[in-house]
Structure formats: structure tokens, C-alpha cells
Amino acid sequence: MSDINSVIDQQVKSSDIFLFMKGTPDFPQCGFSGQVVQILNYLGVDYNSANVLEDENLRQGIKDYSNWPTIPQLYVKGEFLGGCDIVREMFQSGELQTHLQNAGIAVKQTA
């Protein structure tokens, strides 16, 4: 496992919810990242994030790690959940809330 893979693996496994995004939750730098942040904030869940724009190795490394070509990428309990479209569809159908609750994560809002 390369150094960046070790870093990513540690990040993904250190939090119940981890978001790799462009920008920060307070200042998303792409609309797709912003949408995922809005969903997570609406649900009132605690999450950590990493700004892939700060580190080219991380930006490419997360794509290789997940075998997923786009960012943002959301991980729940160490498992890759998906990007913006998947997260948005899961949220709209209620599946995201159920998935989080089944993972033992308290959700404060429901759609």
C-alpha cells in the first residue's frame, strides 16, 4: 500500500462519516461537493472531510483508492458510499437516512 493509500485508509477508518471534497464544508469549491455538504448538514450528522484541492497526491490517490473517477466521495464506517449523484438519490429516497441509522449513526432530520 502506497503512502497516500495509507493516509486515505486511516482517514476513512478514523470517522464514522468521511467526505473527500473540493474545498471545505464551510467553503465548498464545487457544486457537487456543496450538495453533499448540504445533505450531511441537513441530516445533522458529524463528519470529517479532506480538501483534495490542497494535495494533488490526495486528489488522484482517492480516485485510485475507491476506483471511482469523481469527487466528492462519501465514506460511511469505512465503506465507500458514492459520489454526489448517488448520495443525493439515496437522500431523496430516504435510503441514506436508513443506511446511516443502520450503521449506528444518529440522524437529526428526515427528508
Q: What are phi and psi of 20, to 5 degrees?
A: -90, 125
User: Binding site for [2Fe-2S] cluster: what residues are annotated?
Assistant: 30
User: Binding site: what residues are annotated?
Assistant: 30
DSSP letter for 28, please.
B
Cell numbers describing residue 67: 476506483
Question: How would you list the strands of the sheet with 79-82, edge to edge?
Answer: 48-51, 17-21, 73-76, 79-82
Give the pairing type, strands 48-51 and 73-76: unpaired
Angle, CA 89 vertex, CA 111 and CA 108 arms, to 5°: 30
